[in-house]
Structure 1
Amino acid sequence: MDFNYSEEQQMLADSLRRFIDTEYTFDKRRKSARGGGSLNRATWAQLAEMGVLGLTVPGEYGGFGESAASQLVVQRELGRGLVLEPVTPTAVMATAVLSAYGSDAQKNDWLPAIAAGERVVTLAYLEPTTRYRPETARASAERKGDGYVLNGNKSLAWHGEAADAFLLTARVCGSNELALFLVPGNAAGLTVHGYPTMDSLRAADLALQNVIVDASAMIGNAADGLPALLHGIDHGIAALCAEAAGAMEKLIEITAEYLRTRQQFGKPLAVFQALQHRMADMLVQKELALSMAYVAAQALDETDPAQRRRMLSAAKVTVAKAGRLVGQQAVQLHGGMGMTDELEVGDYFKRLTMIDPLLGDSDFHVQRYGEVMAA
């Protein structure tokens, strides 16, 4: 995989950075977050117009059919701006699942709408008892006539309030198969309870009480459910790594500017060697995270599932560790101001902290890495 930006990728990165700097300002982002929403329809439409939402959607369904390398370019810029909108769950994870496992009808119905910014789709696979092991889900799918009746609970559905549909896991009664269903957000019997997360995003808990779906709502067949879900999660991990690298990059720039302008003992803080060393440590960690984001993107082209998961787990753990260090150091280098809500440094710290538990925390990925190596 060539990680040098092509001319088209550079143009996309430049346009996204201009959009974030001029239109998606920090004040606008904070106002949207405090207003109780993480989906601004006007911003969503602008992202669609720039090609962000259809980047990896196949060309025959209205997208651009770009690779993971181009997705890394986009996620890195979105991370720099702490963009709230559900690009990762919809344009990355759901798109990956539907493109690889969806039926022709599902692709025709949903992929063009995702690319155009008309629909939001997110995954709902976590449950109060599953932790990061989706194969232990207890939600059930009972065959009835030409469809299925779904019952159970889902937790922490990323951007669940804004979703037009959920890619939802349920165990088929009478078998051990964990199927994946495309369930409309307004389905009868489906209750969605949204709430804010620490990093100003939104999540939702779902309650399913006799939710009836047609058999055509199943993604692939019942045996495809878990592989399809893991395929989407793999793409999500790679996107998160790139996003975190972008957030670290911007946070280091903010911190360096603060040290250049803040005076102590008649001198800028930037001249003190101890602080320079801490900034150097932050920069090294950011470069390490960016390198591992490249590894994660490259892993998506790996045909061996075990090798792919090993690479993704290594990247996720390394990026999470780097994000914690960069975020904590940035807060400390800002002194007392770093602990206030007045500066944006706290928002970056919170987002980088939340990168760890999303899509499997470090403990989970260290264990998975060990399991793959042992095998």
Structure 2
Amino acid sequence: MDFKLSEEQQMLQDTAARLVRDTYGFELREQYRESAQGFSGEFWQQLGELGLTTVPFAEAYGGFGGNGVDVMLVAQELGRGLCLEPWLHSVIFAGGLVEQLGSAVQKNELLPQVASAQLQLAVAVDEPQSHYQLHDVQTRAVAVNGGWSLSGHKSLVVGGQSAGLILVSARVAGDDRDEAGISLYLVDPASPGISIREYPTMDGRRACDLFLDNVFVSCAAVLGADGRALDALRYQQGRAIAAQCAEAVGSMEATCALTLDYLKTRKQFGQVIGNFQALQHRMVDMHIELDQATSMAMLAACVADEPDSPERSRTLAAAKYIVCRAARYVADQGIQLHGGIGLTWEYVLSHHAKHLLMVARQFGDDDHHLQEYSALMQAV
């Protein structure tokens, strides 16, 4: 495949790479991670000022009008820098849901704010029992005068602790695992009846559990038609998966570069350990996995914005499966080739490894996506 970037795409990638390289050193990242917000508000605003939060949105909403490849270029650089900001969950996943399901009023009000980084969104779709199944929803929405009353428990809401609005899935009809009857609501986390339990994830990002106890949501805060949000959730999660694959590739590239540099400088028995053939072979294996993951991330980016179809879903499931396995392998081998220092908290490689292990489980692990791929093959 001849995968050449256009001049605009090259400029977009260069902008993202330069911003991360010049303003997001590892020491600064650790300061951001330990802050009350859990990421850099200043860097978040810089993403908006440089147009990196506008990439997937239509020009009518202040966006760049970019496609999946444009999103891939930004995500890859953010992954390379281990950036903590909830760009993927706010801009790609949540923003995509608003753009797909929102009314004209909702889109005109919210999307320009998301595109300019003035408003951060989060998506609450996972529940303790759901295990990657978007249709496994026990949170309930009951119609009341003027709106809806939401009650339930949402888990692992990435960026939810700092979001201005959270998109919450809730069931309006049917049993807990029915595919019909799921709606999506724009919920203010400061609303009465909401409690939040915040915690750090394995890779240093912040997430929260959301507890809803008869939380009132007005009719104006419903996204899309009542009970028909599942298809949009699956479609936009597919776009988020494509972006996450690219983010993982950036992190794997950094891990391979760190490992190669270590092999060229660490000495044992009077010579650099990179001269040992066994370690050279393992380094080659890491690059093979990286190359496979890169190819699948590119393929996922190319189909991410295509209309929903079994072929698109199969491609995204295959990409996530390959990237999950590659991410775990590269993380494990990077640590093995470094030895003890690879696990040191003060060394950046350990944080790449944690991030790659987190990526391998978010939005579905490799077993989940292999099953999805197999089921879609049987449907042909």
Following the alignment from structure 2 to structure 1, what is the Cα–Cα distance between the partners of residues 25 and 312? 36
Following the alignment from structure 2 to structure 1, what is the Cα–Cα distance between the partners of residues 298 and 230? 26
**Partner of residue 200 from structure 1, selected from 204, 221, 239:** 204
Indicate whether 1:82 and 2:82 are aligned. yes
Change (3 A) 1:2 1:112: farther
Following the alignment from structure 1 to structure 2, what is the Cα–Cα distance between the partners of residues 301 and 35? 35
2:290 is matched with which residue?
Answer: 286
Deviations 1:16-35 (A, max 9, x none): 22222221111111121133
Following the alignment from structure 1 to structure 2, what is the Cα–Cα distance between the partners of residues 230 and 211? 25
1:334 is matched with which residue?
Answer: 338
Q: Which amino acid aligns with 1:9?
A: Q
1:23 is matched with which residue?
Answer: 23
Contact 2:125 2:169 in 1 (8 A): yes
Which secondary structure state, in structure 2, belongs to the residue aligned with residue 221 of structure 1?
coil
Indicate whether 1:186 and 2:190 are aligned. yes
Change (3 A) 1:89 1:30: same
Q: Which amino acid aligns with 2:167?
A: L
Change (3 A) 1:98 1:346: same
Contact 1:39 1:162 in 2 (8 A): no
Contact 1:147 1:212 in 2 (8 A): yes
1:273 is matched with which residue?
Answer: 277
Comparing 300-309 and 56-65, the one that deviates more: 300-309
Comparing 262-271 and 67-76, the one that deviates more: 262-271
Contact 1:47 1:53 in 2 (8 A): yes
Give the root-mean-square deviation of aligned CA atoms. Answer: 1.5
Which secondary structure state, in structure 2, belongs to the residue aligned with residue 191 of structure 1?
strand
Counterparts of residues 234-313 of structure 1 (less than 5 Å): 234-313=238-317
Cα distance, 1:130 vs structure 2 = 1.3
Cα distance, 1:262 vs structure 2 = 1.3
Following the alignment from structure 1 to structure 2, what is the Cα–Cα distance between the partners of residues 351 and 178? 31
Contact 1:58 1:64 in 2 (8 A): yes
Cα distance, 1:180 vs structure 2 = 0.7
Contact 2:68 2:303 in 1 (8 A): no
Cα distance, 1:174 vs structure 2 = 7.2
Q: Which ranges of structure 1 fall in alignment gaps of 5 or more residues?
A: none
Following the alignment from structure 1 to structure 2, what is the Cα–Cα distance between the partners of residues 58 and 191? 34
2:229 is matched with which residue?
Answer: 225
Which secondary structure state, in structure 2, belongs to the residue aligned with residue 135 of structure 1?
coil
1:148 is matched with which residue?
Answer: 148
Change (3 A) 1:151 1:83: same
- TM-score calculated relative to the size of structure 2: 0.95
Following the alignment from structure 2 to structure 1, what is the Cα–Cα distance between the partners of residues 36 and 352? 19
Comparing 68-77 and 168-177, the one that deviates more: 168-177
Indicate whether 1:109 and 2:109 are aligned. yes
Following the alignment from structure 2 to structure 1, what is the Cα–Cα distance between the partners of residues 212 and 51? 34
- TM-score calculated relative to the size of structure 1: 0.96
Indicate whether 1:66 and 2:66 are aligned. yes
Change (3 A) 1:304 1:19: closer
Contact 2:67 2:305 in 1 (8 A): no
Q: Which amino acid aligns with 1:217?
A: A
Cα distance, 1:236 vs structure 2 = 0.9
Q: Which ranges of structure 2 fall in alignment gaps of 5 or more residues?
A: none
Q: Which amino acid aligns with 2:66?
A: E
Cα distance, 1:39 vs structure 2 = 2.9
Cα distance, 1:36 vs structure 2 = 4.8
Contact 2:171 2:227 in 1 (8 A): no
Which secondary structure state, in structure 2, belongs to the residue aligned with residue 204 of structure 1?
strand
Deviations 1:245-293 (A, max 9, x none): 1111111111111111111222222222211111111111111001000
Cα distance, 1:173 vs structure 2 = 4.6
Contact 2:173 2:182 in 1 (8 A): no
Indicate whether 1:212 and 2:216 are aligned. yes
Q: Which amino acid aligns with 2:213?
A: Q
Deviations 1:55-91 (A, max 9, x none): 1111011111111110000111111101100000011
Indicate whether 1:353 and 2:351 are aligned. no
Deviations 1:295-331 (A, max 9, x none): 2112224435211111111100100100111111111
Give the number of equivalent residue pairs. Answer: 375
